[in-house]
A = this chain, B = another copy of it.
Amino acid sequence: MNKYHGKSTTVLKPRTTKEVSEIVKWCNDRRIGIVPQGGNTGLVGGSVPVKDELILSLANMSKVRAFDDVSGILVADAGCILQSLSDYLAPHNYVFPLDLGAKGSCQVGGNVSTNAGGLRLLRYGSLHGTVLGLEVVLPDGTILDQLTALRKDNTGYDLKQLFIGAEGTLGIVTGVSILTAPAPQALNNVMLALPKFDNVLPLFKEVKRQLSEILSAFEYIDRSVYDLAVKHNQGRALDAEEVEGAECFVLVETSGGNREHDEQKLNNLLESLMEADEPLINTGVLATSPAQFASLWAIREGLTEAVSKEGKAYKYDISVPLQKFQEVLDITREHLKSKGLMREGAVRHVVGYGHVGDGKSGNLHLNVVADAYTPEIEAALEPFVYELVAKYKGSVSAEHGIGVMKTHALQYSKNAVSIDWMKRIKQLFDPKGIMNPGKVLP
């Protein structure tokens, strides 16, 4: 987005938890603000100073501390880059329970601090479940060592949970203990073309029923963003004629322990879908090679880039009930029309894609693609979109957090009592307000 440029010039890169603690204590004594920084890939400006805070980068704390190949429990410095942890695990036949587009730069400490969701959430669940322990330097410099490698430990309050998703406002994560998963032996995927949006939900139910524990992704792609991907050469899953009459697409991925079994399940699924009296899908393409598997994912992963190539995008990463995905797009489009903004020179497309598998309230990436960022469009979109989300009891930030960009929008997803208690927690841990000031809380 490049919307936020920090002014701070001081970047410290401590090498040990003790050094982090000393820096933090020093700053706390002098009321100097600190911005914890991981890979700086966050999308809401959380790792960027708003005034003249000091940047504390974890980049030099990047060692694996321990790995147990029986349990799959990994203990690592917070500054480890996600990709490097994946690479570390591969020869042990384990995978990190989290994967996302920014894996080459983002750090595990940043992932924890943003409670990153990503592409494996459906399969392995959220970091609140997989993170077993944390080591955190609190705003007064105290080291809170909860770096247990126990999967089960019911001895009092689970304090570490507060730091998962706190975006660095309660302390600095310096170490992470996490349960990794046995590497799947087989990955398969299939791209399905649907005649109408209304079929997505029944399809999701049927796919869950048939694929059960091997289902690892169910991604929704609306027709217009699919077309943008094709236009900007992000790949092409289906022939022109297969695309004809499709209102939207779904990418289904399986990952399991036995290739033969998984393929059979996918084939059975496709057959039963095609042979139904009123088929939920027009057609489906099953990847039959690793190359084809990658090219189906390439489309999904290329959507962001396709949108960027098309124009300036206003991006909303929201949770709304699955049933309402299409409605949100339609209402937003109508609203922009009524303001005279759906036209050349202003907004060109209102498109959507997202993770359906994530529950009743799917995670919808709503992208409004314009020729340029303008105050008119912004005024038309906000708080309009947030109010829409609130109406559906959704979330204004499904994945990316609040950072500095969305503090004003927090109220649309969290009630007054919740915000009040968040403030009390902040006050308890950081009475001087030195830890990532101006972020998360309004």
Contacts and interface: CB of A to CB of B under 8 A. Distances in A.
Q: How many copies does the complex hold?
A: 2
Contacts of A69: 205
Contact of A258 (B159, B265, B360): B265
B358 A256 contact: no
Given A143-B417, A148-B393, A149-B360, A157 B425 contact: yes
A395 interface: yes
Contacts of A170: 157
Contact of A402 (B156, B184, B261): B156
A157 B166 contact: yes
Interface stretch (A187-195, A207-215, A288-296): A207-215
B417 A150 contact: no
B156 A441 contact: yes
A287 interface: no
Nearest to A319: B150
Nearest to A202: B70
A346 interface: no
Contact of A150 (B185, B204, B265, B359): B359
Given A358-B152, A401-B154, A402-B154, A70 B322 contact: yes
A110 interface: no
Contact of A153 (B130, B258, B413, B440): B413
A438 B330 CA distance: 56
Given A257-B210, A319-B152, A125 B129 contact: yes
A121 interface: yes
A410 interface: yes
Given A152-B319, A422-B156, A257 B213 contact: yes
Interface in A316-333: 319, 322
A428 to B, nearest CB: 5
Interface string A376-400: 0000000000000000011111111
Contacts of A198: none
B68 A360 contact: yes
Contacts of A358: 151-152
A361 B143 CA distance: 24
A424 interface: yes
Interface in A128-153: 128-130, 132, 142-146, 148-153
Nearest to A128: B128
Given A70-B204, A205-B69, A428-B428, A395 B155 contact: yes
Contact of A128 (B158, B319, B361): B158
B151 A359 contact: yes
Nearest to A68: B360
A58 interface: no
What 5 A-B pairs come out closest when comparing CB atoms?
A129-B129, A212-B257, A151-B359, A71-B360, A161-B161
10 contacts: A69-B205, A71-B359, A71-B360, A144-B417, A151-B360, A152-B358, A154-B395, A184-B213, A213-B256, A258-B265
